[in-house]
Amino acid sequence: MTTQTENSIFPKGDKLENGYFTGDAFLKPLLAKDKSNEFAMGSVTFEPGARTNWHTHPKGQVLIITEGEGLYQEKGKPAQPIKKGDVVNIPENTEHWHGATTDTKMVHIAITNFKGEENVIWLAPVTDEQFTSANKN
């Protein structure tokens, strides 16, 4: 018999209502940029079906998947499955999205580098058609 235990590292935080996410995504901020750290850090929880908009980072971002399974897709490439224990090193100025799958939750720590005061440029939502297609790969 397998016993499933809830074993999250961080609290789920607050639901993201900024218009840059589709579905139920939550943010627990972990660290602000400061004099030593040229990045901000937070834990993001994507419930099944949830994902970011398409976006770019002017100086890149690192994702550490801490729970579940989800998807990462760069524009013009097939979506890649990502799961607990994976580290994704996202290049600068590369259009992409990340999130859950249609039926699995995904939690990641995001370490987002700053270029000056800017660390993300938000673009269009990932449409239901794009998301459905990504889940079929």
Residues lying near its own copies in the complex (CB under 8 A) are found at 3, 5, 7, 9-11, 30-31, 34, 36-39, 41, 59-60, 62, 64, 66, 84-85, 87, 89, 91-92, 109, 111, 113
Q: Could you say which DSSP state residue 115 is in? A: B
Q: Which is nearer to its own copies, 3 or 136 (CB)?
A: 3
When the beta carbons of 27 and 130 are compared against its own copies, the nearer one is 27
**Which of 49/108 has CB closer to its own copies?**
108
DSSP 8-state symbol, 114: -
Query: What does the alpha-carbon distance between residue 86 and residue 64 come to, in Å, rounded to a whole number?
Result: 6
Q: Give the residue from 20, 72, 65 showing the smallest Cα distance to 44.
A: 65
